[in-house]
Amino acid sequence: MNVVDLLCQLVRRPTHHAARAEEAGDELALCHDVAPLLRAGGADEVVVEACPRASGHPGGYVFARWGTPRTLINAHVDTVPANRGWSHDPWTPEVKDGRVSGLGSADTKGAIAAAIVALDRVRPRDVGLLFSGDEERGTAAVRAFLASPHAAAVERVVVCEPTARQAGVAHRGVLAYTARVRGHGGHSSRADFQPAPIVTMARLAIALHDLGVARKDAGPDGMRGLCMNVAGIDGGVAFNVIPEEAALTFSIRPAPGFDRAAWEATLAATIAAIDPAIALTCEIEHAPFGGGDDRGLAALVRPHVEALVPLDFWTEAALYQAAGKAAIVVGPGDIGCAHAADESVAIADLEWAVALCADVYAEAGRG
């Protein structure tokens, strides 16, 4: 089986998220596509499980096992929507100049292709392969897998993301919030005498920015600062209408060891000083990843990687760690290409990933 040809097949199957479920790709279809390849690779069991993803569209995962899996390789089948600026159809792969270009080629269909092709080199033992959906907008598929009997024996997980031939041993979490405040609304001729929700949110935005600036040097080496992102203020409808309400969205990316209780106390005090009527909701809670016993994962991948590093982006390795399983993050491609127009992966990286997966299969079986 050729890794480039297989990746092209995977790219042609749209699996992107969309605001409207009917405009989204089909994760389950891709899972069914690869299930016969896993069976042909000698898997003792292959299951395709459905679970709804964040958009409400059907999603799920395909899981294959050889023996009793203690080591798992996981890559996600879903992609973000196609960004603007593509020079060709995102779902029509192009192979040129030593690269494969197409939506999901780096993030992370290249890893899926490599893991499957590696089955031609080494027959795994006590290994599982999990290709799961809903990574880009939620975590439904991995959470469903972790709650299933198939995850019970798994002790350590190689989480595939584009890491430029490095291995991620830690990364930040994500806390995303929405702050809301209500006024009375009405005609702008009464603006001097009415609450101004947009202005209240603007004051909060500046205060949050200042909190981020004050903490730019806080945190462990390689992950200093909060990555405070004030993302948007919504609420106005017209120049001559006093908004009835306004909302502010913002996020931070905490490093491992982050004191969330202390942070939220500071956040509450900051909000109260501006307007106690502001209501705050935490929309996304992704824990940081790092630390603890890696159960030999670093040694397992070390011959193939250039360095063990902290990563700037969140991955589902944090979910595995929270479930008591060791994890490491490594895969073909560069995160700088992910989510961008003309996303691509080097063919040399794909071949490197095939060799990495084959060695994981072989070494896990010896253990």
- pLDDT given for residue 54 in this prediction: 62
Dump pLDDT digits (tens) for 314-350. Answer: 999 999 999 999 999 999 999 999 999 999 999 999 9
Extract the tokens encoding 307. Answer: 């360095």
Q: What is the pLDDT of residue 221?
A: 86
Residue type at 240?
N
Q: What number of other Cβ atoms are within 10 A of residue 100's Cβ?
A: 27
Please state the pTM of the whole predicted model: 0.90
Question: Using an 8 Å Cβ cutoff, are 333 and 162 in contact?
Answer: yes
Contact status, residue 157 vs residue 327, Cβ threshold 8 Å: yes
pLDDT per position as a tens digit, 222-266: 899 999 999 999 998 999 999 999 999 999 999 999 999 999 999
Strand order of the β-sheet with 245-252 is 229-234, 245-252, 174-182, 279-286
Mind listing the domains of the chain with CATH numbers? 3-171+287-366 (3.40.630.10), 174-286 (3.30.70.360)
CA-CA distances (angstroms) from residue 322 to 146, 149, 267, 274, 367? 10, 17, 25, 36, 24
User: What residue has token string 């920015």?
Assistant: 209
67: left (phi over 0), alpha (psi -120 to 50) or beta: left
pLDDT at 366: 78
Sort residue 104 into left (φ over 0), alpha (ψ -120 to 50) or beta: left
Handedness of CA 63, 64, 70, 71 (dihedral sign): negative
What local confidence, expressed as pLDDT, does residue 52 receive? Answer: 78
Q: Are 202 and 146 in contact (CB under 8 A)?
A: no
User: Which member of 135, 136, 316, 343 is catalytic?
Assistant: 135
Backbone conformation region of residue 171, classed left if phi is above 0, alpha if psi is from -120 to 50, else beta: beta
45 belongs to the catalytic site? no
Asked if omega into 315 is within 30° of 0 (cis), the reply is: no
For residue 364, what pLDDT is reported? 86
Considering only CA atoms, which of 11, 42, 223 is closest in space to residue 118? 42
Bridge partners (DSSP) of residue 131 are: 62, 75
Query: CB-based contacts of 161: which residues, under 8 Å, 6+ apart?
Result: 107, 108, 111, 168, 311, 313, 315, 329, 330, 331, 335
Q: Which residues of the chain have pLDDT under 70?
A: 53-56, 367
Distance (Å, whole) CA 241 – CA 274: 23
3-class SS of residue 208: helix
